[in-house]
């Protein structure tokens, strides 16, 4: 065991596994913004979702102004789209690469999703919590959700078969990704409850 240097952020010193999503918002001029995020999580057992962002990014100000956002979970085949969504903005402040993404509209919020995802959320801003260094936690209530039917769990199929047939995209922070197509059941104690 080695002690990590906590005078610098520890997160660059090892790998962690996380989902990678694209957060969709609208800029002030109405143009679409898509930003990749990997510090994402359900916020409890109800329909709340949260992610970490920095107020320096348009994502924060767009959500603060518009009060809504979309979440697209890309399939492993969409690693290039997820990567390009991290492109810096141009001198005029726009992100023209997003115009080349294949998207479709949300229904309850003013937003769009990437075409080849497997899970989608439409969220209304719940609250933001600042104070995590230069970052904040943005949370939203999921008001609509959609999934590719191949990714849904079914009582008629083994979970491993579902994951093998419909692999998941994982971000291995920092800077790597993986396709998850194999899993094992977790050995929960019989008495374990949510």
* pLDDT tens digits, one per residue of 121-163: 999 999 999 999 999 999 999 999 999 999 999 888 899 999 9
Residue 194 lies inside a defined structural domain of this protein: no
Residue 122 lies inside a defined structural domain of this protein: yes
Mean pLDDT over 69-97 rounds to 87
| Number of domains forming the structure of the chain | 1
- Nearest alpha-carbon partner for 24 in 108, 119, 121, 107: 121
Contact by Cβ (8 Å): 144, 106: yes
Residue 2 lies inside a defined structural domain of this protein: no
What would you measure as the largest C-alpha separation in the chain, in angstroms? 58
Task: Indicate if the pLDDT at residue 192 is higher than 80.
Answer: no
pLDDT class of 77 with cuts at 50, 70, 90: very high
Contact by Cβ (8 Å): 170, 17: yes
Residue 3 lies inside a defined structural domain of this protein: no
Contacts of 34 (CB under 8 A, 6+ apart): 22, 23, 24, 72, 85, 95, 98, 101, 114
Query: How much is the pLDDT for 155?
Result: 85
Q: Taking all residues of the chain, what is their mean pLDDT, rounded to a whole number?
A: 93
Mean pLDDT over 43-55 rounds to 97
Structural domain of 145:
10-180
Contacts of 44 (CB under 8 A, 6+ apart): none
Query: How much is the pLDDT for 19?
Result: 96
Contacts of 191 (CB under 8 A, 6+ apart): none
Query: How much is the pLDDT for 104?
Result: 96
Q: What percent of the chain has pLDDT over 90?
A: 80
Domain harbouring 15, CATH code:
2.30.110.10
Distance between CA atoms of 175 and 190, rounded to whole angstroms?
A: 38
Least confident of 14-18, 61-65, 91-95: 91-95
User: pLDDT for 5-38, tens place per residue?
Assistant: 999 999 999 999 999 999 999 999 998 999 999 9
Residue 191 lies inside a defined structural domain of this protein: no
Ramachandran region of residue 30, left (φ > 0), alpha (ψ -120 to 50) or beta? left
């Amino acid at each position: 065991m080695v002690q990590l240097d906590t005078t610098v952020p520890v997160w660059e010193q090892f790998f962690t596994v996380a989902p990678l999503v694209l957060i969709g918002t609208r800029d002030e001029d109405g143009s679409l913004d898509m930003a990749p995020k990997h510090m994402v999580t359900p916020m409890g057992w109800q329909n709340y979702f949260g992610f970490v962002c920095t107020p320096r990014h348009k994502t924060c100000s767009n959500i603060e102004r518009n009060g809504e956002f979309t979440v697209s979970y890309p399939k492993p085949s969409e690693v290039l789209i997820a990567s390009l969504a991290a492109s810096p903005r141009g001198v005029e402040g726009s992100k023209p690469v997003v115009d080349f993404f294949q998207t479709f509209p949300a229904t309850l919020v003013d937003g769009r999703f990437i075409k080849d995802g497997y899970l989608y959320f439409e969220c209304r801003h719940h609250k933001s919590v600042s104070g995590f260094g230069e970052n904040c936690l943005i949370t939203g209530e999921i008001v609509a959700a959609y999934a590719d039917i191949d990714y849904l769990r079914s009582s008629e199929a083994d979970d491993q078969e579902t994951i093998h047939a419909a692999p998941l995209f994982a971000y291995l922070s920092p800077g790597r990704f993986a396709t998850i197509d194999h899993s094992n059941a977790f050995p929960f104690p019989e008495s374990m409850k949510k």
